Amino acid sequence: MQYIVFTDLDGTLVDYDTYSYQAALPAIHLLKEEGIPLVFCTSKTRAEIEVYLDELELLHPFISENGGAIFIPHGYFDVDFVVSRSTDKYDVIELGTDYNILRNVLLNIASSEGLSLVGFGDMTDAELSEDTGLDVGSACLAKQREYDEAFRLYGDENDADRLISSIGSKGLNYTLGGRYWHIIGDNDKGKAVRILTQVYRKQLGDIKTVGLGDSLNDRPMLMEVDIAFLVLKANGEHDPAITDEKVTRIPGVGPQGWNMAIMGLLE
Ligand SMILES: [Mg+2]
């Protein structure tokens, strides 16, 4: 039986404030020792994810921008799968909607509904660094978006309701991460996990999938995997939007909780 581990990054594998995975290193090393694939499934961009993969010396596929695309290193699988495009490093399976379309729709909604929205595309690297706590170089990588616009809504519940229905009326979707709203196409983390799981299953046969997250945008992934873990948010609470019985609630914040969950699983 081979495990495949899918994980969110912000607020889950990496700390909400410091973006450090230090507390999860024991479990990360154990996964590597056991030859268990660790697949990042995050709202982060390809460029941001690659920094973590390089640091951790991981060579597995990953899922960017809330299921916008699956990036599979060339030669990782022997079996065939349908590819949308290829880059010098990856076969890419695209599920998301082009970033420029998402940006345009969001700007139209903001002006037609009179909503105060500020997206990553509206901010300079320095402003985004200030807003996220990322260093300026990392903020620059976070702005290299392809399939998802992250934004803040400055408004009340009524504004949020109008935003949600406007996004829906344009045939698009939204989700909520730890810090930001996201406007996305017909993709989510769960759809991407399902497709990549099919390829792993074709390659490896009998597998068991594991998912770890902290926020509403992780819910589709947690519903898709065999074993689902929810870590505590920085405020010491589990996300109230995730109430599903199959999800195991880990009594640890972010990467501390992540370490507990994986250590417990492999014990
Ligand atoms: Mg998160």
Domains and CATH numbers, the chain: 2-96+188-266 (3.40.50.1000), 99-184 (3.30.980.20)
> Bridge-partner residues for 10, per DSSP?
14
Residue 214 Cα, ligand 1 centroid: separation in angstroms? 5
Indicate the pLDDT class of residue 16, thresholds 50, 70 and 90: very high
Token pair listed for 260:
């507990």
Give the pLDDT confidence score for residue 190 in this predicted structure.
98
Indicate if 8 belongs to the active site: yes
> In this predicted structure, what is the pLDDT of residue 1?
85
- Distance set, CA 24 to CA 138, 192, 217, 258 (Å): 21, 24, 21, 6
Task: Give the per-residue pLDDT at 45.
Answer: 97
Query: Quick check: 153 and 183 in contact, CB under 8 A?
Result: no
SS3 253: strand
Residue 16 DSSP code:
T
Q: Average pLDDT of 253-257?
A: 98
The DSSP letter of residue 55 is H
- Cα separation, 50 vs 38, in Å, equals 13
Q: Give the model's pLDDT for residue 61.
A: 98
Q: What is the mean pLDDT of residues 248-256?
A: 98
Query: Which tokens sit at 31?
Result: 């996964």
Name the strand (E) or helix (H) holding 190.
helix 189-204
* pLDDT value, residue 263: 98
Cα 231 to ligand 1 centroid, rounded to whole Å: 10
Contact 242, 216 (CB under 8 A): yes
Q: Please choose, from the candidates 42, 38, 35, the residue with its C-alpha nearest in 3D space to the C-alpha of residue 19.
A: 42
Distance CA(7)–CA(243), nearest Å, equals 19
Mean pLDDT for all residues in the chain: 97
Dig out the tokens for 266 from the structure.
């492999």
Q: What is the average per-residue pLDDT within 132-154?
A: 97
Q: pLDDT per residue over 226-245, tens digit each?
A: 999 999 999 999 999 999 99
Share of the chain above pLDDT 70, in %: 100
Tell me the per-residue pLDDT of 200-223, one tens digit each, with 9 for 90 and over: 999 999 999 999 999 999 999 999
Which of the residues 8, 10, 91, 218 is marked catalytic?
A: 8
The band of 76, judged by pLDDT with boundaries at 50, 70 and 90, is: very high
CA dist 105 and 167 (Å) reads 8
pLDDT at 111 over 90: yes
Q: Phi first, then psi: give them for residue 107, nearest 5 degrees.
A: -65, -40
Can you tell me the distance from the alpha carbon of 260 to that of 2, in angstroms, rounded to the nearest whole number?
20
pLDDT tens for each residue of 151-189: 999 999 999 999 999 999 999 999 998 899 999 999 999
Per residue in 19-63, pLDDT tens? 999 999 999 999 999 999 999 999 999 999 999 999 999 999 999
* Residue the block writes with tokens 């497709």: 195
Between helices 254-266 and 25-33, what is the axis angle to 10°?
30
Question: Distance, CA 177 to ligand 1 centroid (Å)?
Answer: 6
Structure tokens at 108: 């139209």
Predicted pLDDT of residue 178: 85
Virtual torsion, Cα 159, 174, 66, 232, nearest 10 deg: 50
Using an 8 Å Cβ cutoff, are 217 and 182 in contact? yes
User: Could you give the 3-state DSSP secondary structure of residue 129?
Assistant: helix
Ligand 1 centroid–CA 199 distance in Å is 25
- DSSP assignment, residue 233? P
C-alpha 15 to ligand 1 mean position (Å): 9
